[in-house]
Amino acid sequence: MMYGILINPEVIILQAFPQIEGWPFPYYHGSCGRIIIEEYVGRSLANYEDSPWEQRVDVAYQLLQISQMLTENNLDFALYMTDVNMDNFAVRPDGTVLLIDVENIVIVDRVEARKGKDHSEMLHHSTGKFCSDCLNFSFEDFCNHDLSDHNYYAICKGLLVPNAYYSKKGLLHDIPKDLDARTNLSSLIKECADPQNYLGRFHVIPKLLQAMKSVL
């Protein structure tokens, strides 16, 4: 337990937020010393960058669902992904996407975070202003707000849009034109990556998920 707290909290997180309760992490088999035994999920997202459109949009939809669950859940804990890249997610043979590297997750107790805060201090919006080509974040921002849109920022800007931080093409490259005209998907994903609306990502995410769902 102490080793996990000090060095690698993955073993603790996998047990505190177990797959059997619906969390999008690998199944935890056990550990001994510094060795952790987890489920082998499957191939990483790096293998799906050039997959057929239908498969890529399904993966993208699941990634945003993971972001939503980690951000807003009935336990009142927000889990923020601080190491988001194509190799830290994998796809099972049945198509299920899981986050397979959870050692760099920041856990915020939302009940504590919102004590003494007024409405204007409740939401945090990630801007990415300190780095033009990498994911950046502040522990202080996470812990001093009820909710941050960091997970949505990390997935949209890091993996989905063209020229994403960790994918040159982005998983949602080459959206079929007829589909885009019907769903406005390219504009929605761009708004998620770089919001122009003052309401930010919390406003666009439900629309983006609904558009993807209609495609699927």
One-letter amino acid of 14: L
Residues 20, 69, single domain; the answer is no
Check whether residue 8 and residue 22 sit in a common domain. yes
Structural domain that includes position 63: 43-215
Average pLDDT score over residue span 198-204: 86
Task: Judge if 99 and 194 occupy the same domain.
Answer: yes
* pLDDT band for position 127 (cuts 50, 70, 90): confident
Average pLDDT, integer, range 123-140? 78
CATH code of the domain in which 192 resides: 1.10.510
133 plus 208 within the same structural domain? yes
Predicted confidence (pLDDT) at residue 80 exceeds the cutoff of 70 = yes
Q: What is the pLDDT of residues 162-191, one digit of tens each?
A: 888 888 789 999 999 999 999 999 999 999
Higher pLDDT, 122 or 134: 122
121 lies in the same domain as 185: yes
Whether residue 146 sits in one domain with residue 65: yes
Number of separate domains in the chain: 2
Residues 50 and 111 in one domain: yes
The percent of residues above 90 in pLDDT, for the chain, comes to 72
**pLDDT for residue 133 is more than 80:** no
- Domain co-membership, 6 together with 90: no
Distance, CA of 142 to CA of 123 (rounded, Å): 10
For the chain, the C-alpha Rg in angstroms (whole number) is 17
Question: Which distant-in-sequence residues (6+ apart) come within 8 Å of 122 by Cβ?
Answer: 114, 145, 146, 147
170/78 same-domain check: yes
Q: How many CB atoms lie within 10 A of CB 90?
A: 23
Mean pLDDT of the chain: 91
* pTM of the complete model: 0.93
Q: Is residue 183 located within the same domain as residue 211?
A: yes
Residue that the structure tokens 């080793």 belong to: 3
Can you tell me the distance from the alpha carbon of 100 to that of 149, in angstroms, rounded to the nearest whole number?
Answer: 21
pLDDT of residue 60: 97
Q: Give the model's pLDDT for residue 43.
A: 97
Q: Are residues 120 and 89 in the same domain?
A: yes
pLDDT digits (tens, 9 = 90+) for 57-77: 999 999 999 999 999 999 999
Task: Give the pLDDT of residue 20.
Answer: 96
- Residue 109 CA to residue 208 CA, distance in Å, equals 27
User: Does residue 181 share a domain with residue 133?
Assistant: yes
pLDDT for 131 equals 65
pLDDT of residue 42: 97
Say how many Å lie between the first and final Cα of the chain, rounded: 42
